[in-house]
Amino acid sequence: MPAKSNSGRGSNGRFQPGNPGGPGRPSRQTEYQYLRAISEICPVDTFKEIVTAAVDAACRGDDKARIWLSSYLVGHADSKAVCLSQIDMAESQLARDEEFDRFLNP
């Protein structure tokens, strides 16, 4: 059996039996409150300015700007974050659904 440490984790890094763990993830409501606060402070027009600056920096060779932009445009292989291609697919599906609804209910 792995040795226990003061963190409540064994030598393999996993919590040991009987360890209550931490406080856990904040509730979705808390996450939504933070997102609302961010969107109030950084409206879409401000974010467009930030993205424009990132594009300029990426074109000048800034790797961090390029990686940040790429994560939104094409996503990461191991990420669950929404990327532009997923938004395009969702919008296309929504348009097809709305068209089908109009066909069914003229």
pLDDT tens for each residue of 83-95 = 666 777 778 888 8
Amino acid type, 51: V
In a domain, 69, yes or no: yes
Average pLDDT, the chain: 81
In a domain, 22, yes or no: no
Is residue 42 scored above 70 in pLDDT? yes
In a domain, 66, yes or no: yes
In a domain, 93, yes or no: yes
In a domain, 5, yes or no: no
Number of domains observed in the structure of the chain: 1
pTM for the structure as a whole:
0.50
Question: What percent of the chain is modeled with pLDDT above 90?
Answer: 30
In a domain, 19, yes or no: no
Of the candidates 100, 71, 102, the one whose C-alpha atom is nearest the C-alpha of residue 86 is 71
In a domain, 78, yes or no: yes
Reported as type and span, the H/E element at residue 47 is: helix 44-59
Write out the residue range of the structural domain in which residue 61 sits. 28-104
